Amino acid sequence: MATENVQTAIPNTQDPEHPLTLVTFHNSIKLTSTNYLSWKTQIESILIGYDLYNFIDGSHPSPSQTITANNTTSYNPAYQTWLRHDKLLFGELVSTIPTNLVPLITQTTTSHDAWRTLANTYARPSRGHIKQLKENLKNITKGPQSITDYIQAIKIKADELASLGKPLDHEDLIEKVLEGLDDTYQSVIDAVNSRDTPITFDELHEKLIHKELSLRHISPSLTLPASTHISNTRSNS
């Protein structure tokens, strides 16, 4: 049985009215050099759900370490609460990063700094990075993989381009899917090209799934990988 993410309240002796919140990420996606968008989407969703996203987006900066009242300067308990919260979150971010990538953020001091450093490393819209993504997208063909795997591969690259401010036009995305198909899907290609209105990405995926299933039914001996979990692909769109 998979373990869910856990939110734990920790007593705060410096400011008892504001206990600390610890979120433990279980079974989280580990960041790699190629899955930043998926990793970012997961972490954002979890932290927004636990109302902690303001630590990493910079909207909840550190309060002053001291407070002054009646010409007397004293320690600010709100600062210690913020610091401990931020360090707990920083530690959980590190837990989603493989050991070889941790040095990227060892010089950062807050979870926001770490988040920004990773974004600058993996989501910077450099000309070379964008060119590489476009080339990778161009070279994707269905080949022996299933329709769902083929569609997923295209969608991942298209989403990465969108995250870098270079979204693919919908008609170009549909055309890319059709271009990578072999002749066994010619009937679907012809039907899409003859339409008066553009087909949606999900509708095209469904038509291709049905065609794949019919091909397997007609030629059981034909090696065609199964396309399952259609909803999983749609949930990433």
Range of lowest pLDDT (43-52, 100-109, 143-152, 215-224): 215-224
Percentage helix, strand, coil, to 5, in the chain?
Answer: 55, 10, 40
- Domain coordinates in residue numbering, the chain: 6-122, 127-235
Dist CA 134 CA 160 (whole Å): 10
- Dig out the tokens for 158 from the structure: 């298209």
Burial 89-116 (b: 16+ CB within 10 A, else e): bbebbeebbeeebeebbeebebbbbbbb
Average pLDDT, the chain: 84
What is the tens place of the pLDDT at every residue in 1-26?
A: 344 565 666 667 777 777 777 777 77
Dist CA 50 CA 114 (whole Å): 19
Mean pLDDT, rounded, for 196-200: 93
Cα–Cα distances in angstroms (integers) from residue 69 to residues 16, 66, 82, 195, in the given order: 21, 10, 21, 73
Mean pLDDT, rounded, for 217-236: 51
What is the tens place of the pLDDT at every residue in 135-156?
A: 999 999 999 999 999 999 999 8
**According to the model, what pLDDT value does residue 226 have?**
47
Quick count: other Cβ atoms within 10 Å of Cβ 42?
A: 16
What is the tens place of the pLDDT at every residue in 59-116?
A: 999 999 998 888 888 888 889 889 988 998 999 999 999 999 999 999 999 999 999 9
> DSSP assignment of 39-98, as one string?
HHHHHHHHHHHTT-HHHHSSSSPPPPSEEEETTEEEE-HHHHHHHHHHHHHHHHHHHTS-
Residue (of 178, 196, 193, 188) closest to 212 by Cα position: 188
Mean pLDDT, rounded, for 215-234: 55
**Which phi-psi region, left, alpha or beta, contains residue 229 (left: φ > 0; alpha: ψ -120 to 50)?**
left
| Sign of the C-alpha dihedral computed for residues 129, 130, 134 and 137 taken in this order | positive
